[in-house]
Amino acid sequence: MRIKTIIVVLLVMILVMSASSAEELTVSGRVNAIMYADKALEEHYGITLLLQDYFLRTVEEKDDNIFIIRYEGIENYAYVLGRYEVTVDRTHVTGITWSHDGEDTSGGFEAEAWGAEQIMEMLRLNQEAGTTEAFDARINEISRKHGFVYAPNILSDEESEIEMSRIEENCEKARNRSSLSIVEMTEIARHAVVSLYGLSPERERALESVVDEEDLPLWYTMFEGEPCYQVCLGLDDKEEDDVLPNGLSYTDKEGNYWIYVNSQTGVVEDIHYSPAIGGNG
């Protein structure tokens, strides 16, 4: 009887230790700073994760774990949406600005600086029509008035070949340095999304890879000098009656999540969310 009791106790201890290990998550200082910056952007300017869909986010790391996170309007939206800049020192936001601070954003699309109200309407119109024609002309008009001209960076055939070779080389380099399996890294990515974005167990089960299985080995890459595996998980659990007050069909935090997992250490090096409504996901 005593032996059976000891065996049961050992089994319980093993299960507890396994569960504890599964819950461990290590994120980089970069990811930590992004989480603080996202929260500050919403609190100060009303730019939620949903409204970030028309922005390109970049992260600059300074000395001593200080990060500057910038959110800039994509392509020809760069002037009218402007640029938000958040400075994070470890666990504190020490500065936040918008390039249109102090400008009038009232009047809908008639304004020349567009904030949360206009972006929400952009998303609604974009979703409704499947295009951005309803507001592109007005954005271009405002941009021209202020001397902003968007010049897309179009690569020549030779430059495209060089870029493809670089991507392939980085993929091979990261794969060769990997000590974790794709399955392991996908689970780490899934855990990161659930933990960092606060998804319920039901929504966790709805997370699915949006990459075809045969293409999974192609998603190794070098990121900031570290060998990584890029995981893309999609969450699509919208109900028919999930409609925001302005008519946008959207469920909180549905969309695509891009997670860079260090293929040697399992550290989550970067993470990005997109509702994929504005075509930027």
- pLDDT for 229 equals 97
pTM, two decimal places: 0.87
Spatial separation of the C-alpha atoms in residues 240 and 238, rounded to whole Å: 7
Q: Is residue 30 part of a domain?
A: yes
User: Using N-to-C axis directions, what is the helix angle for 116-129 and 133-145, rounded to 10°?
Assistant: 140
The owner of tokens 């089994």 is: 11
Q: Is residue 195 part of a domain?
A: yes
- Asked if 116 contacts 46 with a C-beta cutoff of 8 angstroms, the reply is yes
In terms of domains, do 65 and 173 share one? no
- pLDDT for 23 equals 56
Give percent above pLDDT 70 in the chain.
Answer: 90
Q: Is residue 15 part of a domain?
A: no
In terms of domains, do 63 and 139 share one? yes
Mark which of 90, 120, 151 sits at the end of a domain.
151
Mark which of 95, 124, 151 sits at the end of a domain.
151
In terms of domains, do 140 and 166 share one? no
Beta strands in 3-100 (DSSP E): 55-61, 66-73, 83-89, 92-98
In terms of domains, do 142 and 174 share one? no
Q: How confident is the model at residue 13 (pLDDT cuts 50, 70, 90)?
A: very low
pLDDT in tens, 232-254: 999 998 776 678 878 898 989 99
Closest CA to 176 of 211, 215, 217: 217
- Domain range for 215: 153-281
Q: Which residue has the higher pLDDT, 61 or 19?
A: 61
In terms of domains, do 183 and 266 share one? yes
Closest CA to 229 of 270, 262, 271: 262
Q: Is residue 139 part of a domain?
A: yes
Mark which of 116, 151, 186 sits at the end of a domain.
151
HEC string for 131-189: CCHHHHHHHHHHHHHCCCCCCCCCCCHHHHHHHHHHHHHHHHHHHHCCCCCHHHHHHHH
In terms of domains, do 203 and 262 share one? yes
In terms of domains, do 171 and 127 share one? no
Closest CA to 273 of 41, 23, 10, 116: 41
pLDDT in tens, 165-176: 999 999 999 999
Spatial separation of the C-alpha atoms in residues 152 and 249, rounded to whole Å: 31
Provide the domain count of the chain. 2
Tell whether the model's pLDDT for residue 63 goes beyond 70.
Answer: yes
